[in-house]
Amino acid sequence: MIFSFLLSGLLSASSAKAPKYVFLFVGDGMGLAQVSLAEAYRASVQGDSVGFWPTSFSRFPVVTVTTTHCATRRITESAAAGTALATGHKAGEGSLGLDTSGTSRPNLVDLAKARGMATGLATTVSVDHATPGAFYAHVSSRNEFHRIGKQATASKLDFLAGAPFLAPDSAGLPSLWDIAKDSGFGTIHGRAALAARTLPRVMALPAGPARSALPYALDRAKGDTSLVLADLVREGARILERASHKGFFLMAEAGKVDWASHRNDARAMIGEVWDLDSAVQEALAFAKRHPKEVLIVVTADHETGGLALGAGRTGYWTDFGLLRHQTLSQEAMEDSLARPTPAWDGPAAFSALARWTGLGERKGLELDGSDSANLRETLAIAKPKLRAQTLAALATRMLAAKAGIGWTSGAHTAIPVPVYAWGIGADAFQGRLDNTDIHRIIARSFSPGK
């Protein structure tokens, strides 16, 4: 059933009609290995230790690759890569919405607006972070958060969702929340408020205390009703659909595939890929209600971590299912271990790590002599924060190594990343692409009668 629906994307793709509704999903740091590990893990926990349980987008009729390099480096970062996707221009690292000469370039939000479409951005990290920022801001540094936030309020966006501004208050300047209100943004908090909202110019934020991102999928408690990316996409599409009869452009970012990959935290990363999949499925559900009117593109800005399905130490053998014993993200383990109570002496830390990861307790996760020596050495670090950090990182690294997962970097890599396309205009994503081509193809799809 789902397969035939997914394949119908190919049939409609051959139509010359332009899509009315365009979804662009960006898995930050999501290379083919991130997607494949998520799929292999899901197969493993279902009892298939050999194959893959595909995400919805892996089954899209069009799958290709895109290069990601920026103007100044082979290995890009999210601001330059986001700028290429948003504006079609290569940028230097760290700048948003500017080409290499420093000129502001129109982005997909501007181009969609110029055609009367509604526009929205959603992310699992803060609304002023590099990837969403590339779709409204023009600044030379991605870290100018107050300026970026101010440009968000000055943008023509109808919907902006994610974690709150990182720097709403800057000395001597008006609060971004006041500016947002004055510029017509209705700021709402939490899932119920978002579901009840019908009118655009919405800033949708999580309920509860301000955090720099939505929680990792892995750290969500059962029955947790906090906002997830799928909510932002579903409700965003609903609000945007009412905002214009000419359709919409909605970009949604899974920002923490990158964060988990920087930490080489495989299990947390997998949860973020599956959360992205749930969000893509919301776009597919929307497409089912709007036959022959939707284009869905899923891609990444770059790969993070140099992830490999296979590791030197385990040769040809893998057991990704071992990751199921990890019940907390590395970040959450680190936060717990950094707290002053309980006193993290050797036995307390060992038993906590065993509880959170299965290390030293579960079959396949036995500790050998060098593992124990490494753990003991880490426990001897005097500074509590550094000890917590090193312990949590060591535990996730050990787990990855025992499962047959390789990480070569704590930074980004230059490997091309996948592009998945479905629906009207999907067949334009063909052959080896550059990230600037993705902008070009989507921008062209905005102009009916081309």
Q: List contacts with Zn ion (CB under 5 A).
A: 258
Q: Which is nearer to Zn ion, 19 or 418 (CB)?
A: 418
How near is the Cβ of 259 to Zn ion at its closest, in Å?
7
How near is the Cβ of 258 to Zn ion at its closest, in Å?
4
**The two structure tokens encoding residue 417:** 């990343």
Q: Which is nearer to Zn ion, 258 or 265 (CB)?
A: 258
Cα end-to-end distance, the chain, whole Å? 33
Residue nearest to Zn ion (CB): 258
How near is the Cβ of 105 to Zn ion at its closest, in Å?
22
Give the amino acid at 118.
A
**The two structure tokens encoding residue 337:** 């271990």
Q: Which is nearer to Zn ion, 42 or 142 (CB)?
A: 142
Q: Which is nearer to Zn ion, 158 or 258 (CB)?
A: 258
Q: Which is nearer to Zn ion, 269 or 392 (CB)?
A: 269
Could you give the CA distance from residue 375 to residue 373 in angstroms, rounded to a whole number? 5
3-state secondary structure string, 251-291? EEEECHHHHHHHCCCHHHHHHHHHHHHHHHHHHHHHHHHCC
How near is the Cβ of 81 to Zn ion at its closest, in Å?
9
Q: Which is nearer to Zn ion, 148 or 353 (CB)?
A: 148
Number of Cβ within 10 Å of residue 99's Cβ equals: 18
Q: Which is nearer to Zn ion, 110 or 258 (CB)?
A: 258
Distances (CA, A) of 24 to 52, 81, 299, 347: 24, 14, 8, 48
Could you give the CA distance from residue 103 to residue 97 in angstroms, rounded to a whole number? 8
Would you state the torsion angle of the CA atoms of residues 338, 340, 342, 343, taken in this order, to the nearest 10 degrees? Answer: 100
3-state secondary structure string, 190-206? CHHHHHHCCCCCEEEEC
Q: Specify the 3-state DSSP secondary structure of 205.
A: strand
Q: Which is nearer to Zn ion, 258 or 277 (CB)?
A: 258
Tokens 């052959």 sit at which residue? 431
**The two structure tokens encoding residue 419:** 């592009």
Could you give the CA distance from residue 81 to residue 97 in angstroms, rounded to a whole number? 10
- What does residue 62 show for φ and ψ, rounded to 5 degrees? -115, 120
How near is the Cβ of 207 to Zn ion at its closest, in Å?
27
Q: Which is nearer to Zn ion, 70 or 294 (CB)?
A: 70
How near is the Cβ of 261 to Zn ion at its closest, in Å?
7
Instruction: Report residue 298 CA to chain centroid gap.
Output: 11
Do residues 78 and 301 make contact, with C-beta atoms less than 8 angstroms apart?
yes
Could you give the CA distance from residue 252 to residue 132 in angstroms, rounded to a whole number? 8
How near is the Cβ of 328 to Zn ion at its closest, in Å?
21
3-state secondary structure string, 118-129? EEEEEEEEECCC
Could you give the CA distance from residue 101 to residue 332 in angstroms, rounded to a whole number? 42
